[in-house]
Chain A
Amino acid sequence: MTWRAEAGRVGAIAWKDLTAERRTKANFNAVAFLGMLVLLLFGFALGPDTATVRGVAPGIFWLAVLFSGVLAFNRSYQLELEGGALESLLLYPGERWTIFAGKLLANLAFLLLVEVVIVPVAVVLYQLAVPEQWPRLLLVLFLGTVGFATLGTFYAAMASRSRAREVLLPLLLFPMLVPLLIAAAEASAALLEGDPMGNAGTWIRLLLAFDVVFLASAILAFEHVIEV
């Protein structure tokens, strides 16, 4: 019964965040547009050499996701702060980790939707061929996004109490994302080239390990981060 109630709370928070976003669409448009803009600007900066652009495309794609995604995390808690809703949220019965899990679920769904828009743009802009192992590439995309959303949701909660949260969040978040960025970019690059060295599996396992560690740590620490 308790687990059912907690799962209901997780679902309620995710539903509430996504419903509010669906109403305004302001955040989705901004994040998707920024993602496409980053891809475009890197394309201009790298020049017309197709081989060079293809080689660095996975790294640029993940940077585009990271830069644009930060906006989503900030907005996620801004929603709570606007009408003093965070205090009400914290006073509902139940475990505090359900707040984190609900927000994580909403942010994950949001980022995956943004990726649905910017992946085709990256494919066209950088002239990428869809590899044979595309299901594994989708798995990398999913695992990388889970790790990013986990850390982003956690650090956004930490920064939400600060007046300088927009500046603070990337400063806290980006250094922690370095291992995830390397693993996601390397796995993506290997799979786009057909995985000739057979090393994509190692990077995928590393991504999975990061996700598990980040998720467990964030759930355990969230109560202390959100406490006033």
Chain B
Amino acid sequence: MTAAPVRESAVILPLELRQVARRFGRRWALRGVNLQVQPGEVVAVTGANGSGKSTLLRVASTAVTITAGNGSVFGHDLRRRPASVRPLVGLLGHAPGLYDDLTVAENLEFAARMLALGSPGGAISRALELCGLSAHAGERVRTLSSGWQRRVSLARLWMQTPKLLLLDEPYNSFDDEGVAIVNRLIEEARKRGGAALLVTHSLAQAAAIMDRRVTLRHGVIEEGLLPQLHDAPASHDGARSAARRVAGAQATLELS
């Protein structure tokens, strides 16, 4: 007796983006991105500076709204139900997102209260310990180095236990111990049936943990570019022309 095949539509994807575009003023940061992240998958996003990598993470986290296209996180619509998406995602951005005049413990206490955690004291102690911050709990964030500040941001993510991790250059400013903490955080999310999308230039550090890599170029994902050309919405002239330029460049490379 064979098991009934699972239809692809039955799988609730941690992240699905469909023709997502985002414009800042007159500049298109994303020009029609299609991306699916499967449960348990760790996807590294690479690309040159200004290619839209950070915007991609911010869009997926609901930190910025989508200009065109749509997407979902664990089935929750990014445009229509951002409030349902937020408890599921954890974003580690470029900036630590901390309050300089509060201590490390106070920053985590604030996060615990915002997350409405049942037993904040235990969660804070555990996060401090996991990130090697116990000795710095009483110090003001202003006095810490950038590496330690990033660890406080990581500790906040530990407390949140998000199902979808969105990490922007997660290995920056970290020593080997910090890198191990990042990778452990990703593994924990994976074990919970979650996934991770990480923007990184340090593929060597991510190699142990990532499943695949996608590359952004001028706001579009290079893989799978050609089939999307005809599906691009009429309003995305910029996206289409950028896609044609990339396609042209690919064709030229093949000819040469």
A positions within 8 Å CB-CB of B: 5, 8-9, 11-13, 15-16, 19-20, 23-24, 79, 82-85, 87-95, 227-228
Partner of B115, one of A19, A24, A93: A93
Q: A91-B61, A95-B83, A227-B65 are in contact. Are A5 and B96 (CB under 8 A)?
A: no
B positions within 8 Å CB-CB of A: 58, 61-65, 83, 86-87, 89, 91, 93-102, 106, 110-111, 113-116, 140-141, 156
Do the beta carbons of A91 and B86 come within 8 Å of each other?
A: yes
Q: List A contacts of B83 (CB < 8 A).
A: 93-95
Nearest-CB residue, chain B, relative to A80: B99
* A contact patch SS: helix
Q: A9-B116, A12-B110 are in contact. Are A91 and B89 (CB under 8 A)?
A: yes
Do the beta carbons of A23 and B101 come within 8 Å of each other?
A: yes
Nearest-CB residue, chain A, relative to B95: A84
Bound complex: CA of A16 vs CA of B65, how far in Å?
Answer: 27
Q: List B contacts of A85 (CB < 8 A).
A: 95, 97-99
Partner of B97, one of A5, A8, A84, A95: A84
Nearest-CB residue, chain B, relative to A228: B64
Q: List A contacts of B96 (CB < 8 A).
A: 83-84
Partner of A92, one of B58, B98, B101, B114: B114
Q: List B contacts of A93 (CB < 8 A).
A: 83, 86-87, 114-116
Q: List B contacts of A90 (CB < 8 A).
A: 63
Please list 29 pairs of residues, one from A and one from B, whose beta carbons are closer than 8 Å in the complex, sorted by A's number: A9-B114, A11-B113, A12-B113, A15-B113, A16-B99, A19-B101, A19-B102, A20-B99, A24-B101, A83-B95, A83-B98, A83-B100, A83-B141, A84-B93, A84-B94, A85-B97, A85-B99, A87-B63, A87-B93, A87-B97, A88-B98, A88-B156, A89-B114, A91-B61, A91-B62, A91-B86, A93-B116, A94-B83, A94-B116
Q: List A contacts of B87 (CB < 8 A).
A: 93
Partner of B63, one of A79, A83, A94, A228: A228
Q: A87-B63, A88-B93, A91-B86 are in contact. List 19 more A-B contacts (CB 8 A).
A: A9-B113, A9-B114, A12-B113, A13-B114, A16-B110, A19-B101, A83-B98, A83-B99, A84-B96, A84-B97, A85-B97, A87-B58, A88-B91, A89-B114, A92-B86, A93-B86, A93-B114, A94-B114, A228-B63
Do the beta carbons of B93 and A16 come within 8 Å of each other?
A: no
A106 to chain B, nearest CB (A): 13
Nearest-CB residue, chain A, relative to B84: A93
A30 to chain B, nearest CB (A): 16
Partner of B114, one of A12, A23, A228: A12
Q: A84-B97, A227-B65, A228-B63 are in contact. Are A91 and B91 (CB under 8 A)?
A: yes
Do the beta carbons of A88 and B97 come within 8 Å of each other?
A: yes
Most buried by A among B65, B101, B156: B101
Q: List B contacts of A9 (CB < 8 A).
A: 113-114, 116
Bound complex: CA of A23 vs CA of B58, how far in Å?
Answer: 32
Bound complex: CA of A8 vs CA of B101, how far in Å?
Answer: 21
